Chain A
Amino acid sequence: MVRVVATGKQGRKRSRRGPAIGVVAAALGMAMLPAVAVPDVAPVAKAEQPQGKVLRVAVTQDIKKLNPFQGTSLVDTQVGRLMYEFLVIPNATDSTPEGALAESWTPSQDGKTWTFKMRKGVQWSDGQPITAKDVEFTYNQIMTNPGAKDANEVAVASFESVKATDPETVEIRTKFVNVAVIGSVGEIPIVPEHVWRDKVAGIKDFKNEQTPVVGSGPYVLSGVESGRSVTLKANDKFWRGRPKVDTLQMVKYENTEAASQALIKGDADLVYNLTPAQYRTLEKTSGIKASAGRNRRFTEIIMHTGAKKADGSTWGTGNPVLADVEFRKALDHAVNRKTLIEKVFGGYAEEATQLIPPVYPDWTFKLSDDKKRNFDIGKANSILDAAGYRKGDGGARLDKQGKPITLRLLSRNDRAEQAQMAEYVKEWFGQLGVTVDHKSIASSQLNDDTTSGNFDLSFSGWSVGPDPDNMLGQQLCKLVGTELGDTNICNPEYDRLFAQQQAELNKDKRKETVQRMQQMLYDNVSAIMLSYDKLLEAYRSDRFTTFVTQPQNGGIINNQSGYWGYYGATPVGETPPAGAPKAAEQTNSDSDSSGLGTGGWAAIIIGAVVVLGGLGLLGARRKRVSADDRE
């Protein structure tokens, strides 16, 4: 007799259940107890229930730090923009700087001192006046307090000193003449000195979640659930006028599919970063308006051009053929951007030629038709022939040493579109006789390989700020082979022009220089520019009539370099807030199609399957029971 456990004495009734099951259950119960020593759960700022007219945004990026000195994720900086006003802000029309806390600004004769005149009568959400002292305090923290550098160190890099000469005047002195100062101050949220003064020692660990948080932007923070959601309330004291949305909630979704489902269901009012397929589904759903906004992002293929590092050393293992500008030209001619945009981006992108996207029209150069490198395999082949790359047996293109050319192409395995594009590129380059060895790898490894130069071609992309200084600065000679470089190309003339545009106080002249620099990069084929990707967004048009986009004409609602999208959100039955720029006419039509939608139909089908399955099981059971009876 093999009765397993020695609990038989506990009585017949219990042992009937099988003592071993009891043991397993007990053990499972223990698993629920603290099995390992875990630290205390951190105190979470009290969540607040939404009140009044609520705008719920489904965000897919991390909500990490709401301390504006440290928040660097897209959502963090977005929340920072909503909570704290800036000295100047990129406007909604075309992102040129517009006065915010500062009413006006003027450079000194030598161009090294900028004097900002503060707007009068502006208040913090607790009623205290906003003065030049607050600006001085904020900037000085970033410049001198190591714990406050994370978010905006680069923006103040050229600052020598910041001083409030009186409550209405701030002077910023720079180390060298730098017109990008105005762009920089458009990135730094100003915090109230009277609140932050006693936080400076532990600023690094200060979470800034003790609500209500004193702010000056269109909304003030009123509740945080760590990493999961952020709740903001309309700021009655916002100098442009109170927003029409009473409560703004940002809720973290871990994937855009769930976010778009939440929009259909009505759990969310605004979603973004959609895929073309999700976008098209939402476009056809009633009560939802979809918008493909012109964005400030571009996608490119960078090349190992063989440029040397700043110390004169070579780096990595790039194929030497890429050092030849003619070879790069041929590759550029062999890429059909129209096909990529249509097949990979679902049509939601524009052809790219330069680093600065067309949403910043001031800084982009007009490419003449005769200079533009169109898709032309024949021309690409003849460029290669002329440059001395002959074809060998089997049509393989040979390098100058007579070896067949193979180029390694890296893509990120978390970006499906890159792998798709790689397939096309492989085919087109194949038509030149160039073999492409495509590897889809983790982004961390891709970063590693491109920094150390162990690649030939690699997909890349950047979000570009309103001032061209940052993006152009990433192409300087000193950044070749570092974590900071973009195209890793070196052209001393380009570097000279970079310094020139930085010191050019005349905007028209600066424009000219910036455009020349971009032309230079194009002529030099610094990278194979592919596309300006649109941001696919959608919102409940049965709850909100308009959002202000940036740029105002066909731009984006989320990921702006301003607060216009959320500030200008207008609930149905309301007029837009007084201080918001007029929303442009939306061209994307709101579909009238009604009916069940995917979810409804899927529900019906699954419901039917469940019912049929249930009936089947019931039938089977009845049959079995009767069979048992017979036994």
Chain B
Amino acid sequence: MADIPATTEPAAEAFGGRRARGGGQSTVRYLATKLGGGAISLALVAVLGFFLFRAMPGNPVRSVIEGRGSASYEEIKRIKAEWKMDEPLWTQFVDYMGDLLRGDLGTSIKYRAPVAELIGERFWWTILLTGTALLLAVALGLLLGSRAAWRHGSRFDRWSTGTALVLWSVPTFWLGLIMLVVFSVGLDLFPTAGMTTPGGVSGGWFAELLDVLHHLALPAITMTAVIYAQYLMVMRSSLLEEMNADYLTTARAKGLRDNLVRRRHAVPNALLPTITIIFLHMGLVVSGAVTVEKVFSWQGLGLLTYEAIGVPDYPLLQGTLIVLAAAVIVMNLLADVIYRFVDPRVRSA
């Protein structure tokens, strides 16, 4: 415990030092501007979402009673009153904004449960699946992409690029089912559905963790297989652009080994466009992946949103839109900030 302050101190110094070099006050202002912009975007999304979803075709009351086989006038009247659908649009809007400011996302029409609770139940499961897949895809994409570019035209390049593109092109649903049939049913390596064994497992938290990983493996691998091509291609093409740069010739002239030239000189520069795309995708991690979730019965936010559209479940759609928008905005903000540190040109601009 005692050494924690000791290690944080130099880090803080380093940060302070860097900030001073980067222009001190301007960084704070820069951040404030970005944060303000983010907050305004989010507010606009909240307003837009309300009207956008109500402009969608569909009648939630009909969807609610359809599932019941029978209904009555009284019931329709009661349902309409319950969801305030019998009130004018602007009073609904004022109520919605008021609730939102109090942190209340409302109650789902379809699930009859608080929207915040529904999203909360699925939030971390979504992050777990899409986050893991993104991590794997980025790692795999960057690794294979940089190697493919370094030896462009080689058999490795052709094979790895070709494989990635084939996987990128196949329908996710189909690939998922094939994975399920082969690795779960055929080889009996993984469970067929869900996020945990129904009813749980015995053996404490470690067994539970293993159980989750066991369930996570197939959907995460499927998703990785589908999406890693985009990182591979971006990394490959941006590295190819750097390949003939003078500084690489300089590095080689200094006698550096080929691997070092690639890792220390070429890759860091080629990474910049990749960072942009990674952060763009990171914002979307929260939105989940409907098809993968559907195949592997992974109860994520993607499926939740999909189900909500069918009703249409206004409160739930508004809630998921806000959470999704917030994630994208925060990630963009983070990308802007990180870009400042990664790319000196942005900092000095």
Q: Are A451 and B295 in contact (CB under 8 A)?
A: no
Evaluate whether A600 and B279 lie within 8 angstroms (CB atoms) in the complex, with A150-B112, A231-B199, A444-B58 already known.
no
| Partner pick for A265 among B116, B184, B307, CB 8 A cutoff | B184
Taken together as a complex, chains A and B put the C-alpha atoms of A17 and B263 apart, in Å, by 7
Known contacts A24-B275, A47-B199; is-contact A73 B67 (Cβ 8 Å): yes
Among residues of A, the one whose C-beta sits closest to the C-beta of B128 is A32
Given A1-B247, A72-B67, A153-B74, verify A254-B193 contact (CB < 8 Å).
yes
A23 partner residues in chain B, CB cutoff 8 A: 275, 338, 341-342
Q: Looking at the complex, which one of B121, B142, B182, B196 makes contact with A21 (CB distance below 8 Å)? A: B142
B340 to chain A, nearest CB (A): 11
Q: What residues of B have a CB within 8 angstroms of the CB of A19 in the complex? A: 268
Q: Contacts of A607 on B, CB cut-off 8 Å?
A: 187
The A-B contact count (CB < 8 A) is: 299
**B62 and A35: CB pair below 8 A?**
no
Classify the secondary structure of B's interface with A.
Answer: helix
Instruction: State whether the Cβ of B123 lies closer than 8 Å to any Cβ in chain A.
Output: yes
Give A463 to B66 CA distance when docked, in angstroms.
Answer: 10
Residue A337 interfacial (CB < 8 Å) = no
Within 8 A of B (CB), among A128-153: 146, 149-151, 153
Residue contact B268 to A227, C-beta cutoff 8 Å: no
- B71 and A442: CB pair below 8 A? no
Whether B72 lies near A157 (C-beta < 8 A) is: yes
Interface size on A, residues (CB 8 A): 106
User: How far apart are the CA atoms of A464 and B134 in the complex, in Å?
Assistant: 47
Q: State the CA gap A231–B131 with chains docked (Å).
A: 30
The residue of chain A having its C-beta at the shortest distance from the C-beta of B245 within the complex is A2
Q: How far is the CA of A37 from the CA of B117 in the complex (A)?
A: 13
Q: Is B149 an interface residue (CB 8 A)?
A: no
Given A18-B267, A599-B182, A617-B159, A414 contacting B199 (CB threshold 8 A): no
B177 (CB) vs chain A CBs: closest residue: A257
Which residue from A39, A70, A448, A474 sits with its C-beta under 8 Å from B58? Answer: A448
Q: Which of A102-110, A245-253, A580-588 contacts B (4 or more CB under 8 A)?
A: A245-253
Determine the chain A residues whose CB is within 8 A of the CB of B151 once the complex forms: 624
Question: Contact: B111 with A265, CB < 8 Å?
Answer: no
When distances are taken between beta carbons in the complex, the residues of chain A under 8 Å from B74 are: 153, 157
Query: Nearest Cβ in chain A — how far from B274, in angstroms?
Result: 8
Chain A 1-43, CB-CB to B under 8 Å as 1, else 0, gives: 1111110000000011111110110011011100111111110
- Quick one: closest B residue to A441, CB to CB? B57
Q: Is the CB of B135 within 8 A of A267?
A: no
Chain A nearest Cβ from B299, distance in angstroms: 6
- The answer to whether A50 touches B199, judged by C-beta atoms less than 8 angstroms apart, is yes
Asked if A16 and B184 make an inter-chain contact with CB atoms under 8 angstroms apart, the answer reads no
**Which of B199, B326, B330 counts the most A-chain CB atoms under 10 A from its CB?**
B199
Quick check: B58 and A442 within 8 Å, CB to CB?
Answer: yes
B71 touches A231 (CB 8 A): no
A483: which of B62, B105, B294, B309 is its contact (CB, 8 Å)? B62
Determine which of B72, B282, B326 lies in contact with A31 in the assembled complex, contact meaning CB atoms within 8 Å: B282
Contact, CB under 8 Å: A15 / B264: yes
Bound complex: CA of A601 vs CA of B142, how far in Å?
34
Indicate whether A470 sits within 8 Å of B69 (C-beta atoms), given known contacts A18-B267, A254-B295: yes
Contact with B along A366-392 (1 / 0, CB 8 A): 000000000000000000000000000
Q: Tell whether B192 is near chain A: CB-to-CB under 8 Å.
A: yes
Q: How far is the CB of A229 from chain B (nearest CB, A)?
A: 4
Chain B residues with Cβ under 8 A from A447's Cβ? 58-59, 62-63, 66
Q: Tell whether, in the assembled complex, residue A448 and residue B338 are in contact, meaning their CB atoms are under 8 Å apart.
A: no
Contact of B185 among A3, A27, A35, A599 (CB under 8 A): A599
Q: Does A195 sit at the interface, judged by CB under 8 A?
A: no
Contact, CB under 8 Å: A48 / B199? yes
The 8 Å CB contact of B121, one of A5, A226, A473, A482, is: A226
Query: Counting CB contacts under 8 A, is B102 at the interface?
Result: no
Check A223 for interface membership: any CB of B closer than 8 A.
Answer: yes
Smallest CB gap from A70: residue in B: B112
Give the distance to chain B from A262, nearest Cβ to Cβ, in Å: 4
In the complex, what distance in Å separates the CA atom of A443 from the CA atom of B285? 28
Q: How far is the CA of A447 from the CA of B105 in the complex (A)?
A: 26
Any A CB within 8 A of the CB of B195 = yes
* Residues in A neighbouring B21, C-beta threshold 8 A: 6
State which of B124, B194, B200 has its C-beta within 8 Å of the C-beta of A49.
B200
Interface: A264 (CB within 8 A): yes
Within 8 A of A (CB), among B151-194: 151, 154-156, 159, 177-178, 180-188, 191-194
The complex places the Cα of A474 from the Cα of B184 at a distance, in Å, of 46
Q: Is B321 an interface residue (CB 8 A)?
A: no
Contacting pair B323 A599 (CB below 8 A)? no
B residues in contact with A18, CB < 8 Å = 263-264, 267-268, 271
Which residues of chain A are near B112, meaning CB under 8 Å?
64-65, 70, 150
Q: Does A499 lie at the interface of the complex (its beta carbon under 8 Å from any beta carbon of B)?
A: no
Interface membership of A339, Cβ < 8 A: no
Contact call A41/B120, Cβ cutoff below 8 A:
yes
Closest to B18 in A: A6
Q: When the two chains form the complex, which single residue of B18, B57, B264 contacts A445, counting CB atoms closer than 8 Å?
A: B57
Residue A56 at the chain B interface, CB threshold 8 Å: yes
Of all chain B residues, the one with the shortest Cβ separation from A443 is B310
Contact of A32 among B131, B269, B323 (CB under 8 A): B131
Shortest beta-carbon distance, B312 to chain A, in Å?
Answer: 6
Among A1, A39, A604, A623, the most chain B Cβ lie within 10 Å of the Cβ of A39
Q: Does B76 contact A (CB under 8 A)?
A: yes
CB atoms of B65 and A36 under 8 A apart? no
Q: Is A228 an interface residue (CB 8 A)?
A: yes
CB distance from A310 to the nearest CB of B (A): 10
Separation of A380 and B211 alpha carbons in the complex (Å): 62
A480 CB, min distance to chain B CBs, angstroms: 13
Q: Say whether A225 faces chain B, with CB atoms less than 8 Å apart.
A: yes
B217 to chain A, nearest CB (A): 15
Could you tell me if B297 and A253 are in contact, using CB atoms closer than 8 angstroms?
A: yes
A73-B65 Cα distance, complex, nearest whole Å: 10
Counting CB contacts under 8 A, is A420 at the interface? no
Q: Least Cβ distance of A432 to chain B in Å?
A: 31
Q: Is there a chain A Cβ closer than 8 Å to B286's Cβ? A: yes
Q: Which of A82-112 contact B (CB under 8 A)?
A: none
B62, A448: Cβ atoms closer than 8 Å = yes
Complex alpha-carbon distance, A229 and B199, angstroms = 8
A:408-462 near B, CB below 8 Å = 414, 441-445, 447-449, 451, 462
CA distance in complex: A623, B293 (Å): 41
A612 within 8 A of B: no
Mark contacts of A233-272 with chain B using CB atoms, 8 A cut-off: 1 yes-contact digit, 0 otherwise: 0000000000000000101111101110110110110000
Task: Find residues 298-326 in chain A having any chain B CB closer than 8 Å to their own CB.
Answer: none
Answer yes or no: B331 CB below 8 A from chain A CBs.
Answer: yes
In the complex, the answer to whether B155 meets A620 with C-beta atoms within 8 Å is: yes
Q: How far is the CA of A74 from the CA of B154 in the complex (A)?
A: 57
Give the chain B neighbours of A470 by CB distance below 8 A.
69-70
**What are 21 A-B contacts with C-beta separation under 8 Å?**
A1-B250, A5-B342, A23-B338, A24-B275, A36-B323, A38-B116, A39-B120, A47-B196, A62-B111, A151-B68, A228-B195, A259-B193, A267-B192, A442-B58, A444-B57, A448-B57, A448-B59, A451-B62, A484-B65, A484-B72, A603-B181
Further pairs besides A23-B338, A599-B185: 7, Cβ < 8 Å: A20-B267, A31-B131, A35-B327, A65-B112, A154-B71, A227-B121, A483-B76
Q: 10 smallest A-B Cβ distances: which pairs?
A: A444-B58, A603-B186, A39-B116, A599-B185, A445-B57, A229-B198, A599-B186, A262-B192, A36-B326, A447-B62
Which residue numbers of B lie inside 8 Å of A, CB to CB? 18, 21, 56-76, 78, 105, 110-114, 116-117, 119-121, 123-124, 127, 131, 134-135, 138, 142, 151, 154-156, 159, 177-178, 180-188, 191-196, 198-202, 247, 250, 260, 263-264, 267-269, 271-272, 274-275, 278-279, 282, 285-286, 293-299, 303, 307, 309-312, 323, 326-327, 330-331, 334-335, 338, 341-344
